[in-house]
Chain A
Amino acid sequence: MSRIPSPMSRRKGDDIASRPWRGRVRDYDLFKELTIGVVVVGLLVLGLSAIFSSPDDPGVTLKSWAAAAPSDFVATATAELGGTSGTAGYGPPYNSTPDASQHLGFFNPQELSGVRLPVDTANDFVINPLKTLPTPPAALATWSAATADQQTKWTADYTTALSAAPNGDPARVANGNYGPVPALTSALLGMANSGNLDGVLQNSGQPYNLDYTPTILFLGDGNYFPDLATTAHLTGDQWGVMNETGNTPGQSWLWLFSLLYQIEPYKSSPNADILVVATMLVLSLLLTLLPFIPGLRSIPRKIPVHRLIWKDYYGKR
C-alpha cells in the first residue's frame, strides 16, 4: 500500500504543487518588475536618507572619559590594578578566572575555547602604559617590589576610601596607607588627560593596530561609558540590542533576541547569554526545518491566512 503524502509536505509527488501549472497564465515581465522594484525602492531609500539621515554620535575616548569623569576613571583604574574589575574577573577568552564562564549543564564552550585574547588588567591597562612615559612614576618600583597580598590590600583599601570620599574624589580621600596606588592611578589619569593613554593602549607597541579590545574593555569597566549608553537607551534592560542612538530604528529584527533578556528564566540567570543564544539557535533551526515538522507545517492550513493572500483566486472558485 503506498502512503499518500500530506498536502502540506515538502515532498515532490503527483499533486498540483509538484506539477507544472496547466491552468491559465498571465503576462509577466521579470526584468520590467525588477526595474520597477529597483526604481521604487531606490526612491524610498533616497527619500528616507534625505529626510532622516543617519545617526553618528562621536565615540568615547579615554581622554574624554578622564576629562568628564576623573573620579570614575581613577576608581576604575584602581579596580584594574587590584584585579577586581569586570574584565579582570571575566574568564575566557580574556583570562582564566575560576567559575566565571557561562555554561549549559556540563557544556561549557566558553571554557573550551580557552584564553585566546589574554588580558592582564593590572599590567596591560595600568603598569605597562605608565612604563612608556618619558619619566615613569617612581611608584612603579614600589608596586613591582610588593607581594601580591600587599598589592591587593593597597588597592582594596584605596577602593573603600574612594567610595567613602565625597563624589569619589581622589583629592578628598581620607588619609591611609594605600602604598603606590594613588600615585599610579593619578599618573594614569594624567596620561589619559593628555590623550597619550588612548594611543598606548591601542597600539600595543605596533605601528598598525585595528584591535580596540583593550580600550573597549577598560571603558566598559567604568560607570561613565555605561551611563552614556543608558542615556542613549542602549543598555540590555532597555531593549538596547535593537536600538540605535537617537530616534533612528536599529536592528529591530533582533526583537526576539532582546525580548528573551527581559523575561525569566533568562533575565536573572548567571548563564543568560548562553541560554538566550541557545534558544535563538533552536528557534531558528525549527523555522528553517519547519517543512519537516508535522503539526507546525500544518498551521498555514489551520489558520487560513492564505485565503487572504490569494483572495482573488479563492473568490473566483
Chain B
Amino acid sequence: MSTVKESSPDPEVAGTGAYTWTGKSRQWFLRHLPPDKLLPEDQPSYVATWAYVFGMGAVAGLVFIIGSGVVLSLNGPQWYHVSSLGHFTNSVHLWSVELFFMFMVVHLWIKFWMAAWRGGRLLTWITGMVAFLVSIVTAFTGYLLQTNFDSQWIAFEAKDALNAVGIGAWFNVANLGQIFMWHIMLLPLAVGAVVALHVVLVRAHGVVPPLDAAGTDAQLRDSNGTSPEPEANQP
C-alpha cells in the first residue's frame, strides 16, 4: 500500500524537508556541527602555540590505554604475571596512563589560564573536568586490579574512605569481580562518552580567542612589522 506525502504544515520545518524526528535531528546536527566545523582545515591565526598540543596528547594517550587495556582484558588479569609479552603490555598500559594524566593536567591548567569557558563554552569546560574526575576513579580501579602486593595494600587502605562515605559495599575495593566490572566496562564507557562529547563540543564552539582580542586581527603586525589588510584571508 502506498501513501502520498503531504507537505509539512509545521512552519518551523517548512521547506527543509525535515518533518520527521530523524529529519529534524539531521537539521539540528547540520546546524550545530557542520562538516567544516567538525573536520576543519583551518584555525584562527592565534591557534599557533605549543599550548594546544596537550589536549591531543591526552587523546593519543587514551588510544594507547584502550588498546593495551583490550589486549590485557582478552588475556585475563593473571596473564601479565607469567608472560613477558603480558608484562610489557602491562607496562604500556601503565605508562600510557601516566602520560594521559600528565597531558590532561597540563591541558586543564592551560585552559584555566585561557579562561576557556568564555563565549558559551561552559559545557566544554564541565565535560573536560568530568573527564578528569572519572579518569581518576578509573585509574584507581586499575591499580586495584594489579593482583599483586600493591593492589592488596591499596584495597586495604582505600576501603576506609569509601566505607566512610557509605559506598564501600557497591564499590568494594577488595572484591576483584566487582572492581573488574567497574574498570573494564562501566568506567571506560563513561570516560569514552565524556571525552567524545568534550571533543565534539570543542569542534562545535571553536577554539576560544585570546583575552581582550579584537574582532579581527587587523590590528596585528606581520612578522615584518607591517599591518595586514583588514579582514584579509577570512574563512
Closest chain A residue to B39, Cβ basis: A30
B172 located at the interface, meaning its Cβ lies under 8 Å from any Cβ of chain A in the complex: yes
- Specify which chain B residues have a CB less than 8 angstroms from the CB of A300 in the assembled complex: 112-115, 211
A46 located at the interface, meaning its Cβ lies under 8 Å from any Cβ of chain B in the complex: yes
Closest chain B residue to A111, Cβ basis: B166
In the assembled complex, the CB of B61 is this many whole angstroms from the nearest CB of chain A, namely 6
Question: Knowing A46-B92, A210-B176 touch, does A60 contact B136 (C-beta < 8 A)?
Answer: no
B164 located at the interface, meaning its Cβ lies under 8 Å from any Cβ of chain A in the complex: yes
Q: Which of B91, B150, B210 contacts A49 (CB 8 A)?
A: B91
Contact B120 A12 (CB under 8 A): yes
Instruction: Give A293-311 as 1s and 0s: 1 = Cβ < 8 Å from B's Cβ atoms.
Output: 0000100110101100111
Contact B161 A273 (CB under 8 A): yes
Contact A58 B148 (CB under 8 A): yes
- Specify which chain B residues have a CB less than 8 angstroms from the CB of A277 in the assembled complex: 161, 164-165
In the assembled complex, the CB of B130 is this many whole angstroms from the nearest CB of chain A, namely 7
Question: Knowing A60-B152, A313-B220 touch, does A254 contact B136 (C-beta < 8 A)?
Answer: yes
| CA distance in complex: A30, B103 (Å) | 18
A187 located at the interface, meaning its Cβ lies under 8 Å from any Cβ of chain B in the complex: no
Q: Which of B53, B113, B175 contacts A210 (CB 8 A)?
A: B175
Contact A55 B44 (CB under 8 A): no
Binds A, one of B23-31, B94-102, B190-198: B94-102
Interface size class of A (residues with CB under 8 A): 35 or more
Question: Knowing A29-B41, A245-B150 touch, does A225 contact B156 (C-beta < 8 A)?
Answer: yes
Contact B214 A16 (CB under 8 A): yes
B234 located at the interface, meaning its Cβ lies under 8 Å from any Cβ of chain A in the complex: yes
B75 located at the interface, meaning its Cβ lies under 8 Å from any Cβ of chain A in the complex: no
In the assembled complex, the CB of B204 is this many whole angstroms from the nearest CB of chain A, namely 12
- Specify which chain A residues have a CB less than 8 angstroms from the CB of B19 in the assembled complex: none
Contact B169 A41 (CB under 8 A): no
| CA distance in complex: A46, B61 (Å) | 12
- Specify which chain B residues have a CB less than 8 angstroms from the CB of A249 in the assembled complex: 98
A/B interface sample: 13 pairs, CB < 8 A = A23-B216, A23-B220, A25-B42, A46-B92, A59-B149, A59-B152, A60-B152, A117-B169, A117-B172, A225-B156, A232-B150, A313-B48, A316-B217
Interface residues of B (CB under 8 A from A): 39-49, 51, 53, 56-57, 59-61, 63-64, 80-81, 87-88, 90-96, 98-99, 101, 103, 105, 110, 112-115, 117-122, 125-126, 129-130, 133, 136, 139-140, 143, 146-161, 163-169, 172, 174-178, 180, 206, 208-223, 228, 231-235
Apart from A16-B214, A249-B98, what 15 extra A-B contacts exist at CB < 8 Å? A17-B119, A18-B120, A24-B228, A27-B41, A37-B53, A59-B148, A93-B169, A216-B159, A232-B150, A234-B153, A234-B154, A236-B157, A288-B129, A300-B113, A313-B210
